[in-house]
Amino acid sequence: MKLSYLILSLLLISLGCSQKEEQPPKEIAQEIFNPKLDFRPNILWIVAEDMSPNIPAFGDSTVVTPTLNRLAKEGISYDNFFSAHPVCSPARASIITGMYANSIGASHMRTGPWMLENLPEHIIQGYKSLPEENIPYEAVPPKEVKMFTEYLRASGYYCTNNNKEDYQFIKTMTAWDESNNKAHWRNRLKNAPFFSVFNIGVTHESRIWAKAEDSLWVENDLNVPIPPYLPETEISKNDVRRMYSNILEMDTQVGTLLSELEEDGLLDSTIVVWYTDHGGPLPRQKRLLYDSGTKVPMIIRFPNGQFAGQRDDRMISFIDLAPTTLSLASIEPPEYMQGSAFIGPFTRDEEPQYVFGAADRFDEFTDRIRSARDIQYKYIKNYQPEKPIYADVAYRKNMPIMQELLRLRESKQLTAEQALWFQQPKANEELYDITKDPHELHNLANDPNFQQELERLRTACENWLDGMDDTGLRPEKELVEALWPNGIQPQTENPVFTYSNGRLTIGCPTEGASLGYRFVEDPESDERGAWKVYNSPVNVPENSTVEAIAHRLGYKRSAMKTLVLGMEK
């Protein structure tokens, strides 16, 4: 496997050679990639939506992004970073748990019944008209799985989310100190370390059409690159210009957050992580397991100029974000997580050779696709080859460039590269040499010269799936029945108090339930009523009133229980 560019350059200097080397031992990786800090760092995630590596830091010079250029100059750029799922809700499920969404019942886009509560009536009726297997539900991860921010909060971090909650399950009440559009590290009560997430939606695919009448942040005639799978018409160019315009607007919003850090004197006590939640907004990008849907940019800036301007080409997946963040906070990641830390004191001992991906239902269109990718090749397994690669998702057809593609298909004016997306049936297997075919247009699965690579990646993909209960490969109706028997959501049982000699123990009969508590009379209590994470007995003065609640992911929350002077209400 290739080394990071930094390690490779060091080897070339010391050895005077250019051959490919094996991945360095853990000690070398830690020495080069891990920050040396004498304090618990703040951690800031800035997450842009629906964006491939279309910025100068990753080789696309169509527009200049001053803020991200600065971040790249002052931090590490990660060249092989991949979403495990090419659409937002499953991707976020994998991020927040450190687990593949298809291993926890979360790989179908928009499972949650709460989605219906806040949607326009015509959308609600559209959901109700879908086939029975698309009934909304919450994913129910295994009992040991938590939202990883609970571990941060339990260790003293103030955790905020502003403000996307697209997890495929309702958040536990112990996941965040704040999760709303006003959440901010500035709201913490004490000078505690913080973990803050800011989601920037201006690059989302919907902004291609929703901002169509807005002024562009680029020239009206900007020469933009059009990938070969999209038409080079003026309609297409306008939408691609809008994409780049939205990227510039996002860059400015990132700059505002960095300015706030600097104003607070926190920039050099904060690890800043910027990345995007999956591939780009254009047709044949988001929702597909091609690199256009899964390969995303990431830049990490460390305090005190550490690793400034470096690059890292290790294979990194979204499932690695949770354990890595815990590692940076000096918290050992739990063993159940399928990802592993790529930096920090708990850095993994070996670098993975492959990253994996899964794609199942996207709104009203269902498919079953899995992938394995190494540094050079991509393997894709299509479990329903009778269906086209193209998912006829109504939402995407709001985009003019999508309408243009469909118009050209109807009039039989698509090029061979553009027509590939609509082929039906599709191949059982796909294999691409990414170095020679970055747009994944030339399927090598049937080429006798590549059978060894095909077998190797097929085996890697099969071994990955053999190690999990891949819930996405079941019919969704069957999955819902397994998660919510008879269509009824399981209920978290109420917390149980045990109070003795000023010590309070809180339990719950529901295995895997997260427990939260708070003191009603606490003068330092957060006025927002944030629940403290319970994980061991706590001291409770006799004149206290304690409230507690329990919640297992995917279950209904318990009722709130109250203890006054040792008596339960």
Taken in order of first residue, the domains within the chain and their CATH numbers are 34-106+141-347 (3.40.720.10), 371-387+425-487 (3.30.1120), 496-568 (2.60.40)
Read off the amino acid at residue 131.
P
Nearby residues of 188 by Cβ (< 8 Å), 6 or more positions away: 158, 177, 194
Going by the DSSP 8-state scheme, the letter that residue 398 receives in this structure is: G
Is residue 9 pLDDT above 50, yes or no? no
* Residue recorded with tokens 């991945």: 23
Give a three-class secondary structure readout of 260-301.
HHHHCCCHHHEEEEEEECCCCCCCCCCCCCCHHHHEEEEEEE
- Asked if 168 and 103 count as a contact pair (C-beta separation under 8 A), the reply is no
Is 17 an annotated catalytic residue?
A: no
Is residue 118 pLDDT above 70, yes or no? no
Q: What mean pLDDT comes out for the span 508-512?
A: 98
* Residue recorded with tokens 């254009």: 282
Going by the DSSP 8-state scheme, the letter that residue 427 receives in this structure is: P
28-42, 189-203, 349-363, 431-445: the lowest-pLDDT one: 28-42
Is residue 463 pLDDT above 80, yes or no? yes
Q: What mean pLDDT comes out for the span 431-453?
A: 98
Nearby residues of 238 by Cβ (< 8 Å), 6 or more positions away: 400
Is residue 566 pLDDT above 70, yes or no? no
Q: What mean pLDDT comes out for the span 125-151?
A: 83
Residue 319's pLDDT is what?
A: 98
Beta-strand relationship, 178-179 and 158-162: parallel
- Asked if 209 and 398 count as a contact pair (C-beta separation under 8 A), the reply is yes
Is residue 288 pLDDT above 60, yes or no? yes
> Tell me: the pLDDT tens digits for 391-426?
999 999 999 999 999 999 999 999 999 999 999 999
Cis peptide before 425 (omega within 30 of 0): yes
Residue 119's pLDDT is what?
A: 59
Conformational region of residue 455, where left means phi above 0, alpha means psi within -120 to 50, and beta covers everything else: alpha
User: How far, in Å, CA of 100 to CA of 282, rounded?
Assistant: 25
52-61, 377-386, 537-546: the lowest-pLDDT one: 537-546
Q: Which two tokens stand for residue 533?
A: 């994470």
Provide the 10 A C-beta neighbour count for residue 398.
Answer: 14
Read off the amino acid at residue 3.
L
Is residue 21 pLDDT above 80, yes or no? no
Instruction: Determine the length of the chain.
Output: 569
Is residue 376 pLDDT above 50, yes or no? yes
17, 88, 159, 508: which is the annotated catalytic residue? 88
**Quick one: pLDDT band at residue 486, thresholds 50, 70, 90?**
confident
> Tell me: the pLDDT tens digits for 293-337?
999 999 999 998 999 999 999 999 999 999 999 999 999 999 999
Residue 23's pLDDT is what?
A: 43
Centroid of chain to Cα 59:
23
**Quick one: pLDDT band at residue 149, thresholds 50, 70, 90?**
very high
